[in-house]
């Protein structure tokens, strides 16, 4: 079993930045590709970004490109999401998820993930 724990959420003004972390406990994330998703109140969950285990290749939702950066430190079993130029519409609960050997494009659909965290709330004020 893998326990994913997100942290780093909070309240920030529009235009500000936050860095989210997702730490994995229980076992290594070796060969698990990782993704960030978010769900705003009253809306469906949506994909934000993904990163592969092996070569660190990345994949972003259009809404994230140019503002968000996903990264990972395999030695620390941790994935990060650096969020810059935040907008009120970025307000949501952000979740990380792990998928064993799943392609990043498939991972972006959010189905068949092996593990999910419980989320961290990001609130962007205008």
Q: Is the Cα torsion angle 123, 48, 66, 34 positive or negative in sign?
A: positive
Cα 102 to Cα 19: distance, rounded to the nearest angstrom: 25
pLDDT of 65 above 90: yes
pLDDT of 88 above 90: yes
**97 confidence band (pLDDT: 50, 70, 90):** very high
pLDDT of 122 above 90: yes
In this prediction, residue 26 carries a pLDDT of: 79
For the stretch 23-61, pLDDT in tens is 998 788 889 999 999 999 999 999 999 999 989 999 999
In this prediction, residue 7 carries a pLDDT of: 98
pLDDT of 12 above 90: yes
User: What's the CA angle centered on 27, arms 25 and 28, to 5 degrees?
Assistant: 105
Cα 38 to Cα 28: distance, rounded to the nearest angstrom: 24
User: What's the CA angle centered on 36, arms 63 and 26, to 5 degrees?
Assistant: 175
In this prediction, residue 58 carries a pLDDT of: 97
- pLDDT mean across residues, the chain: 95
């Amino acid at each position: 079993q893998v326990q994913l724990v997100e942290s780093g959420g909070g309240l920030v003004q529009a235009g500000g930045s936050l860095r989210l972390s997702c730490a994995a406990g229980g076992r290594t994330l070796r060969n698990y590709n990782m993704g960030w998703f978010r769900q705003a109140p009253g809306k469906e969950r949506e994909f934000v970004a993904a990163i592969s285990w092996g070569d660190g290749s990345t994949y972003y939702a259009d809404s994230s490109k140019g503002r968000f950066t996903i990264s990972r430190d395999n030695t620390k079993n941790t994935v990060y999401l650096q969020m810059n130029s935040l907008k009120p519409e970025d307000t949501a609960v952000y979740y990380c998820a792990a998928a064993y050997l799943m392609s990043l494009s498939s991972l972006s659909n959010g189905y068949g993930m092996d593990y999910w965290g419980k989320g961290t709330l990001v609130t962007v004020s205008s």
